[in-house]
Amino acid sequence: MKIVCRKKIALGSKKEAIVIPVYKNIENLKALTGKRVEDEIKKILNSDFFYFEDNEIKSFYIEINKKIKKVYLINIPKEPEEYRDYMKLGSKFAEILKKDKIYTFSILSIEDIYNERKDFNYTKSFIEGIYFGLYEFDRYKSKKNEYELEEIEIITNSNKTKKVFDDEMGKLDIIFNNVNMVRDLVNLPHADLTPQIFADFMKQFESDRFKVTIFDFERLKKEGFELIVAVGKGGVNKPCMVKLEYKGNPDSEENIALVGKGVTFDSGGMNLKPTGHIETMKTDMAGAATVFGVIKTLHDLNEKINVYAYIPLVENIISHESYKPGDIIKSKSGKTVEILNTDAEGRLILADALYEATKTDPEVIIDMATLTGACVVALGSYCAGLFSNRKFLAKNISDISYDLCEDIWELPLYEEYKDRIKGDISDLINIAKKRGEAGSIIAALFLQEFVDNYPWIHLDIAGPAYIEEKHPIFGKGATGFGLRLVYNFINRFYVDK
């Protein structure tokens, strides 16, 4: 989708429709619309047609330059509010665009409506909402939705606003192409996204600055990734691990590391999941998809940073080869783990990958995983759990999350619970001795054993990665949650400006 910003007035728009943000008793639209359009709008606003209700969107037709155009009036708060409010409005407007089959439209800059010259995120947030609202996954439907929005033209009368939008809006399409790629991957059924298919998908994006290495089953065994091997060996589709290297700043040795959980289907293994829980387990690779989306976005936007990503890919399936409760497995780090529950598999494959991630001496390690149902119980399906061994990291990423509407909440790495994962006949056990409480904390404490005290963020995205009821911004199904959050976090604090 093309997004452009032009200094002009609505009267000069050549697009199919014009979007005009309004609020009660709004004045001085003429500089953005032209007098004739302003007069028509004022008639509507002063009639019984428009009620100034929250998120109200009404349309009417007007003749402009001998052509009939559709005009949408969108009620916005009189004073600027939170960015998520504009995202919600944009997502709602996307449904109208699809229904009305509008392919191009002009929108008056919300910043101009507010006479705002310092904060330029209101129109951007509205357009982000449109991107989220336009997404559909219809690959398996016999009747496809052929609609595709082609162009958004932002109208402003400010040189500064135009410059900011010219710099920023071009990035949005790249970011959301990758968000939608993540959503597609998470929505795919397991049969069409086995570990090897997923690895081959990532391999096709390899470039001079973006190296993709696939560790196959035999290499994993040879190099001691025994936790990944154990979890994945029961499936017909054997496990692998993908290592991604993006060299955006080749003159520097500094780097960051990303790790994503990639369980392409999770039956629970010998501790089989029941009906009511197993149906959506194709989505247990959302962390892997999101990590790939983040590193690909950094590459596509030519960000000046070096990033390594480690993505273990397995299917946790029952067979005569499957690992079993009571097994003791030696991890890549050398620590041994007794398996008490085969459905606590995500932390096992992450453990090997996290340890490998320490090898490049990263400034920070960030892992993303649909790790625990306990996190959904604690925080619901709209909010992810955040754990970090550095307070400044937790604060920095939390400060970013709210404005992006990618909500996270910090939970403690509670020291007093560490003994609960200590084994009697092994170094560690993969679930707590005391069952039924603090499941997300226990999982995070287990992961912490493998990061060697490197600065580390763990995001448990089990809730928001895939939402079964309709979210006011993301809709239903896979959301792409976390890509924008982690990309913005990296871009703000680690990219060499």
Band (433; pLDDT cuts 50, 70, 90): confident
Q: How far is it, in rounded angstroms, from Cα 351 to Cα 259? A: 10
Summary mean pLDDT of the chain: 96
pLDDT in tens, 288-342: 999 999 999 999 999 999 999 999 999 999 999 999 999 999 999 999 999 999 9
Phi, psi of 264 (to 5 degrees): -70, -25
How many residues make up the chain in this entry?
497
- Give percent of the chain above pLDDT 70: 100
pLDDT the model gives residue 497: 65
Tell me how crowded residue 138 is: count the other CB atoms within 10 A of its CB. 10
Q: How far is it, in rounded angstroms, from Cα 185 to Cα 181? A: 6
Q: How far is it, in rounded angstroms, from Cα 333 to Cα 226? A: 10
Lowest-pLDDT choice from 3-12, 179-188, 365-374, 403-412: 3-12
> Annotated catalytic residue: which of 273, 330, 390, 418?
273
Band (455; pLDDT cuts 50, 70, 90): very high
Q: Is 88 part of the annotated catalytic residue set? A: no
Residue 260 has pLDDT above 80, yes or no: yes
Q: Is 484 part of the annotated catalytic residue set? A: no
> Annotated catalytic residue: which of 15, 347, 420, 484?
347
Cα 222 to the center of its chain, rounded Å? 34
Residue 65 has pLDDT above 90, yes or no: no
Apex 480 CA angle, 132 and 363, nearest 5: 130
Residue 283 in 3-state DSSP? helix
Band (63; pLDDT cuts 50, 70, 90): confident
pLDDT the model gives residue 28: 80
Q: How far is it, in rounded angstroms, from Cα 180 to Cα 136? A: 9
CB 215 within 8 A of CB 243: yes
Q: How far is it, in rounded angstroms, from Cα 443 to Cα 431? A: 7
Query: Looking at residue 224, what DSSP letter applies?
Result: T
pLDDT in tens, 359-391: 999 999 999 999 999 999 999 999 999 999 999
